[in-house]
Structure 1
Amino acid sequence: MSATSGIGVSPELSAEFASALESRSVRFIKISIQNESLVHDQSIPIEGSLNEDLAKLQDLLQDDVPAYILTKLDDSEWLAIYYVPDSAKVRDKMLYASSRASLLKSLGSTTFTDNLFATSKSDLTPESYLAHRKHMAAPKPLSAREQEVADIRAAERENAPSYEGSRTRQSMVGTGVGLKWSLNVESAVEDLGKGQDSAIVVITIDTSTETLVLESTTSYAFFAWPHNYTDPAGREIVFIYSCPSTSPVKHRMLYSSGSSGVFQAAKTLLSSSLNARKIETSDPAELDEAFLKSELGFDNKADITTAFNAPLSSDSVRSFAKPRGPARRRP
């Protein structure tokens, strides 16, 4: 309860606790409420480890009478045990609950690094105390959003930014999430580089294994594009990263963090045939020839000789557009 009882610590209890702090030889100090005061009831010396000494509480406590037990841990710290049995009188339960804050404040709350609430003597066994410690050390519950972000960060930590193909090639360029390449994806991308005609390979991430797999939906795409916008005419392969704003948050973060690693790994397969510029879009419908010309610099004659051979740099990558929100409903 939030209200306090107004019951204070007796001088004898204060002196007993101060002596225990100095001597470091006392394991338990039992405290009771008598005559509207917190008084020293009994002290138990240290004889073994805390787990061994906990058995003494079975005889020290009564089944239906509340008490406070100040407990010295195996180091210099102290544990405050609040023992209020379910079978205790309602008045006693309320009195001990409302006096708890006064007890800690009077003896120095910083001295106690942990609290334990017990409603029966079975809560004060070595096994119960171990369960209490595990509960205190366990991560605090997360909201659904916090758990989703935590899962993504864990996946990023567990996956090194590497490319592992059939010949165990690796690319450590960039800081993106490392994604494994399935054999059919690697083969499809290599065949794309060897061809002469227009073709496209569309791949997606198997989120359960974080492996790139062939897919018929838009995600990552390598588009082989023969054209006459350079002299001589050329055929170049363009990397396209398309992530619609309606995609789940986890997928958007995973694809975004993995795009650089996929692009760098593809360079080892496609060499100079891969255009140095990445195309990123949140709306696949805008991907037409005019869009490609604009993104690759072919709508400007001054850029024609440099667009294909431009070195990769952060400036050559089109920033990913902020995901569009849902359309407003008309009344």
Structure 2
Amino acid sequence: MDHTCQLTVVLAVLSPPVSPKLASVWKQVTSYGSKVRAVKVSIINESLEDDGIFDIQGSFEQDFGIVSENLAEKQPAYFLVRLDSTRVGSSEWLFLCFVPDIAPIRQKMIYAATRASLSKDLGDSHFTDSIYGTHMNDFTLDGYKRHRASLAAPKPLSERERQLAEIHASEKLLVESMKGGSYRKAHAPGMNFPLTDRAIAALQKLAVTKAPTPAKPRFGAAVASSSSKAVLSPASTPLPASPVISRQNTEQEVKKTDSEANVADDEWDDDNDDAKDKKAKEEEETAAPAEEEEKSPAEPEPQAEPEPEPAVEEAPVERTINFVKLAIDAENERIDLASETKITAKDVYKNIDEDSPRFTFFAFEHTHNGTPQDSLVFMYTCPTKSKIRERMLYSSCRAGVLQAAKDEANLDVAKKLETTDVSDLTEA
């Protein structure tokens, strides 16, 4: 048997029992209508006996001095004190155990070991609180108030327990925030904190804009109206073929040819007269509609379509800033501008906080394989030494910030980075 088991057995044997007298006294003082404020219990002749009974003189606080007045500096003792509060029709009691450091070792061991058995024998349900102390000032009214204050204070927690408590508090805050408000603007799932106007204005400066080159339209020849009609002149009528005279023609043939030519001329004149009559008739038919067109409002002549000019490459306007850092204003439930500037890539990490989370946008202008590149980088930094509540808020707002940058500033993020150490944000 090891030493621990031996000590437990010894203490169990040494624990004295509650005497019949103490049991009777305790039954009386806990009965309805009892006026007893406190009972002192001591170990006498190897048993637990009442060592003093004290009546109620005033309130609990006024009577608490009875305890310190009846304790000996070097002698362990128990005190059972009635509280002013009641529970289920019976009074509540306070269990006090005084074991001074300067008391004999054997007494200290016995009183310490008997404390639990005494409370159990008298009835644990009677006692709502207990105090174990080694100094007299632990049993004054001020000492009792310090004890109550320590019970109300948060219990000492390990680092892990503290983090869990902060997470629980943050989750509660998130739930409260998500209940909504008319001023909130939902960008994406998660927290819906809106961006301030100056934050949006700073993000808009990161957008690459072009300097527009005005195009000068060139107009071609006027296009004829589709309603215009083509009129054929008599000259457009094909003429009869002229006779061919050769040296071999005889005089008779020449005369015959001349005769035929005269006939052809007569026929041409007739045809020409017919053409003139036909033209006059057409002019009469078109005269009436023309008069009506003159009376009606003149329709604008169709304009020629401008011919497109060859596309001219537009030069990008130089940015005034290329770095925008945003921070959450938790008190006002919004995301505000923390800073804006123009820096080089190697100085990015120097401009980001090392102890608090941040959202950062950086326009990274560089050259890749001889080709100029312009990439917008989003960086979410969340240092491990920052508060858990901050880390949860920023994590919940991250998606909303990205969506707001797209909707409000027309920004397309090319690369997203997330780190707990800002020194990781190098140009490489």
Task: Give the corresponding residue for 2:339.
Answer: 214
User: Are 2:157 and 1:142 equivalent residues in the alignment?
Assistant: yes
Letter in 2 for 1:62: A
CA contact (8 A) 1:181 1:213 kept: no
Q: Does 1:126 align with 2:145?
A: no
Deviation at 1:74, TM superposition (A): 1.8
Deviation at 1:39, TM superposition (A): 1.1
Query: Is structure 2 residue 65 aligned with structure 1 residue 55?
Result: yes
RMSD between aligned alpha carbons? 4.3
Q: What stretches of structure 1 of length at least 5 have no aligned partner?
A: 163-168, 226-236, 286-331
Structure 1 residues 52 and 115: alpha-carbon distance in aligned structure 2, compared to 1, 3 A threshold: same
Give the equivalent residue in structure 1 for 2:30: 21
Q: What's the CA shift string for 1:154-173, capped at 9, x where partnerless?
A: 567668759xxxxxx74366
| Structure 2 match to 1:305 | none
In structure 2, the residue matched to 1:171 is 185
Greater relative contact order (CA < 8 Å, ≥ 6 in sequence) = 2
Match of 1:256 in 2: 395
Counterpart contact for 1:161–1:174, Cα < 8 Å: no
Q: Does 1:80 align with 2:90?
A: no
Question: Structure 1 pair 29/138, CA: closer, same or farther in 2 (3 Å)?
Answer: same
Q: Which moved more, 1:55-64 or 1:7-16?
A: 55-64
Q: How does 1:26-45 map to 2 (within 5 A)?
A: 26-45=36-55
Instruction: State the partner residue of 1:325.
Output: none
The separation in 2 between residues aligned to 1:105 and 1:122, in whole angstroms, is: 26
Instruction: For residue 96 of structure 2, give the secondary structure of its aligned residue in structure 1.
Output: strand
**Conserved 8 A contact 2:99-2:134:** yes
Identify the match of residue 108 of structure 1 among 109, 123, 127.
123
Query: Secondary structure of 2:73's match?
Result: coil
State the Cα distance separating 1:274 from its structure 2 match: 5.3
TM norm structure 2: 0.50
Cα distance in 1 for partners of 2:31, 2:173 equals 49
**Residue 79 of structure 1: how far off its partner (Å):** 1.3
TM-score, structure 1 as length reference: 0.63
C-alpha distance in 2 between matches for 1:101 and 1:267: 68
Is the 2:185–2:192 Cα contact (8 Å) retained in structure 1?
no
Number of residue pairs matched by the alignment: 267
Contact 1:185 1:214 in 2 (8 A): no
Q: What is residue 325 of structure 2 aligned with on the other side?
A: 203
1:50-88: CA deviations, max 9, x gaps?
211111223322222211001122213221100123332
Amino acid at match of 1:188: A
Give 1:255 shift.
3.0
